[in-house]
Amino acid sequence: MHEVTTCDLTTLKPFIRAFVPVCVPVVMFVTSRPVTADEGMWMPQQIPALASKLEALGFTGDASAFADLTGYPMGAIVSLGGCSASFVSPDGLIATNHHCVQRSLQYNSTPERNLMEQGFLAKTRSDELWNGPGSRVFVTVSVRDVTDDIVGKLDPMLADRMRFEAVEKRVKQQTAAGEQGGLRCTIASFFEGKKWFEISQMEIEDVRLVYAPAAGIGNFGGEVDNWQWPRHTGDFSFYRAYVSPAGKAVAYAKENVPYRPKHWLRVSPRGANPGDLIFVAGYPGRTSRLTPYAEVQQTVEWSMPRTVKRNTDQIALLEKLSMEDQETAIRVAPRLRGLHNSLTKTQGVIKGMHQGGLLAEREAHEKSLLAWIDADPKRKADSGDVLPALNALVADRARTRERDALLAEVAGGTGSVMGAAQTIYRLSIEKPKSDMNRDPEYQERNWSRLREAQDRLQRSLDVKADRVLMTYSLAEVAKLPASQRIDVLDHEIGLAAGMGEAEAGKAIDAFLGKLLAGTRLYQKDVRLACHDMSTADLLAMNDTAIMLTAALYPLTEANREKAKERSGATYRLGPRYAEVLLARHGGAVAPDANGTLRVAYGQVMGVPARDGLRYLPQTTLQGIVEKATGASPFNAPAAELAAIQALRAGKMTPYLDPQLNDVPVDFLSTVDTTGGNSGSATLNSKGELVGLLFDGTYDTVASDYRFDPVRTRSIHVDTRYMLWTMAEVDGATNLLDEINGLPRSVDAPQPTH
């Protein structure tokens, strides 16, 4: 086993102080005053500094336990690379959300056996299904401050492009050094680049599907209930991590054995109740609470309305295709779900930022900051230029934003044949370089991942979907004004500024007919073979997707160069902006989420939803009965409805809540979370698993940009519903025995990873 240590708290003390909030009076659950949500997605090492506030909320445990990433409970928390999860047994069983296992369900589905609808349960280990190439489990084992190594002693006079080069080179060097011990290393910036940390993770490659309830449980309510309360969704599933018989993290092989984690969470059969203090441990994605107003304004007034329009249109196109072809329906199902989820959240953010007044609050906050800077001659001299310079970067990017967005869509749309072509072509250009001179995404450490992505793409790549989505994007390209034309596409397709819609449509249709008929990249073996080809060999194939990618490459590369220069400017300006914020607020500012391991805390609590309406903090099985219609998305399985009826008839269950006289399903809390937190372990004060975080309420999704301390609520599935479903609906007794039949940790020597 590689020896690892957690972050030295002495090096973190100034950083911790910078983020500790000013203490506020504790508000009990039963009160007529508004209850404030608890802002902050904290680094685990910061939690000990919050001990006094946690004690005021009723915490009697040891706050320093959260700082020990190799101890309990943090040693059980893992990332799936987009979702969060946790070990819940000594045999590598992993709990996460149902919506986080959709790609595994899709990978193993056929029109005759659609696991996305039916669900899946492995009764034995040999029945467990491989997730397919590219699936990973990441266990964070150490965090180390490397700020001086990354940005220390940089020449303040460096040009922005040169500054980017210098920082990128240092990040690559630090990453390479950190991975010499066999771990996966990430260098992450915090607080607008003021601080940098090295995150070391064990990377488990063989991940298998163990159990997922039917869609009528795991996705009960579908898009109708998405981001809504009350919820009755059993958003939970289980994976298992596998390693070689020698204990090494290796690729999938039948002879691999379950991974033995040092720590796993005890699953509480008592769940969470109103007023309980809870913690959420996971990997939140991104928040933008510290971003300057100009950038937030552009996001809310341009990017988000554009997302709403495009998602709405693309959903309609893909749903029509899905109705026509079951195979296509399976291939595009995860993309559709992502589009729906993004659409609903984006609409909620726009509503909150405008109608909720959060955008106006951001503007007022920044005006107050500027006034504070101007009020002191020294502050003005030191920092008066920072916000104007940051705003200039936003304005510069806005000048060609629509053209650049469309170019990115056409040249490398995610999950499309053009996306595959762009990856293959760029890899051929990067490979001849030395590893330190390659783009980070194309360094040798990522080659196996790139290949796995091309392999896995076979289960979602669909020529019909590509055609309708590319037609949609190219129709928008045809509408670009004369000053922002994409010349390569105009030439290849036969477009021109001012061309009529019908004429442009005919040209696009003819072009796509030739493009899609002339590429072999829909074949997995061809894509994988291309990974080993030189640029010259690729071009010699005369594949239409490769040739179009090559023609667009100078334009996409020019945009990447512009982005690098802007990043260099941000490296120069961001830390100065952070220093202003910290000074203005006396250090009481929390760091934005950035995809790294965080801990949030709060209480199980309802909320006044609107005038005359209060949301209760829990839902029960009764709500499932009331909502069930027998049709999607309220198609509760017959077995579940029968189990509820049996409960009503007097069948005993240890998961009944005596206060509710029913089995709890979901609950609300004041915990601060965001995308990426899906599947996060919800812990009680003993560190026991009492639920899984899976959503937030529609009224508070704008908190990614401006935290709403009164209305913010997160939604969790209660462990009592999880365990009841496993026992009474799906008969997952093998997993119940595994989860609750053994102690939570071991002291035996661990295998080498």
**Closest of 453, 478, 388, 484 to residue 133, by C-alpha:** 453
Q: Where are the alpha helices (DSSP H) in 587-631?
A: 621-627
What is the spatial distance between Cα 721 and Cα 743, in angstroms, rounded to a whole number?
22
Q: Please give the backbone phi and psi of residue 391, each rounded to the nearest 5 degrees, phi first.
A: -65, -35
- Region label for 261, one of left (φ > 0), alpha (ψ between -120 and 50) or beta (otherwise): beta
Record the tokens describing residue 46, joined without a space. Answer: 């910061």
Is 483 a catalytic site residue? Answer: no
* Element holding 619 (H helix, E strand): strand 618-620
Q: Look up tokens 């004690």; give the residue.
A: 55
What is the spatial distance between Cα 487 and Cα 496, in angstroms, rounded to a whole number?
9
Record the tokens describing residue 172, joined without a space. Answer: 């690559």
Record the tokens describing residue 732, joined without a space. Answer: 């997952």
Among candidate residues 79, 189, 678, 745, the one labeled active-site is: 678
Q: Are 220 and 232 in contact (CB under 8 A)?
A: yes
In this structure, how many other beta carbons lie within 10 angstroms of the beta carbon of residue 181? 12
Helices then strands, counting H and E runs in the chain, come out as: 27, 20
Q: Is the dihedral of CA 538, 542, 548, 550 positive or negative?
A: positive
Is 99 a catalytic site residue? Answer: yes
Q: Please give the backbone phi and psi of residue 665, each rounded to the nearest 5 degrees, phi first.
A: -110, -65
Rg of the chain on CA atoms, in Å: 26
Residues 6+ away with beta carbon under 8 Å from 653: 647, 663, 724, 727, 728
**Closest of 514, 505, 441 to residue 473, by C-alpha:** 505
Q: Exposed e or buried b for every residue in 186-219, given b needs 16+ CB within 10 A?
A: bbebbbbbbbbbbbbbbbbbbbbbbbbbbbbbbb
Among candidate residues 38, 145, 160, 235, the one labeled active-site is: 235
Q: Is the dihedral of CA 516, 519, 522, 523 positive or negative?
A: positive
Among candidate residues 84, 89, 91, 99, the one labeled active-site is: 99
Q: Which amino acid is at 200?
A: S
- Which residues are 149's β-sheet partners? none
**Closest of 616, 711, 632 to residue 664, by C-alpha:** 616
Cis omega (within 30 of 0) on the bond before 591?
no
The DSSP result for 391-437, as a single string, is: HHHHHHHHTTHHHHHHHHHHHH-TTSHHHHHHHHHHHHHHTTS-GGG
Is 491 a catalytic site residue? Answer: no
Residues noted as catalytic: 99, 235, 678
